[in-house]
Structure 1
Amino acid sequence: MTDQTSTLYAKLLGETAQISWQELQPYFARGALLQVSAALDLVEAAQALAEDDRTKVAAWLGSGDLAKVDEARAEDFLARDPQLWAVVVAPWVLIQERGARTSSN
């Protein structure tokens, strides 16, 4: 990891925050929400987008580890109101559900 890369990671980490689905709905309506699976590091995914790392992003899109939030997922979030974390990499807002991992996190 280069100094520039680690600086970007630290910056994105500092901009990551817990958020409710209610606050995210306008971004969903604009089609600007990407969901990051629990298998990935939210900040690493944001960094790859920010750095335009097409190889990583394409692989994650292909595997489903990174996906645009669809109508069914939005309805699920609305019904359950899960704990979500988000970080912005314009024009995208990346979200990840927490609590899907083990309780030691």
Structure 2
Amino acid sequence: MTTPEQEQQMLHAKLNMETSQIAWSELLRFFAGGHVIVVSNDLDLVDVAARFSIDDTAAVQQWLSDGKIARATDEQARAWLEPDALLWTVVARPWVLVQENKPA
């Protein structure tokens, strides 16, 4: 029997393995469907995906109200389209969470 802590660790490991850099052009259909969520660089993308996966409404609502996560805007989509930007991406169905490369 696994403990809640072990389950959380397994979820984080699974999501971490599913995280990759994807070109914006590959994400356009999800953007068109309103399913792309932009995650602030000061949050851990995998942790945010885990919170989405377990329906941690309190954390998600807090991030929304703090402006730490938001649906991708048309302006962001245009900015990413020309250079076909690579974004860190992970799926937390039905959402596709994206994060720009963190500055060095």
TM-score with structure 1 setting the length: 0.91
1:79 aligns with 2:82: yes
1:66 aligns with 2:69: yes
Q: Which residue of 2 aligns with 1:101?
A: 103
- Could you tell me which runs of 5 or more consecutive residues in structure 1 were left unpaired when the two chains were aligned: none
1:14 aligns with 2:20: no
List aligned pairs for 1:21-60, cutoff 5 A.
21-60=24-63
Of all paired residues, the percent bearing the same amino acid is 41
Which whole-Å deviations, capped at 9, do the CAs of 1:39-95 have from their partners, x for residues lacking one?
Answer: 000000000000111111011111111110011111111134333110111110000
- Could you tell me which runs of 5 or more consecutive residues in structure 2 were left unpaired when the two chains were aligned: none
Structure 1 stretches of 4+ moved >2 Å:
79-83
Tell me the distance in 2 between the aligned counterparts of 1:34 and 1:68.
Answer: 4
TM-score with structure 2 setting the length: 0.92
1:2 aligns with 2:1: no
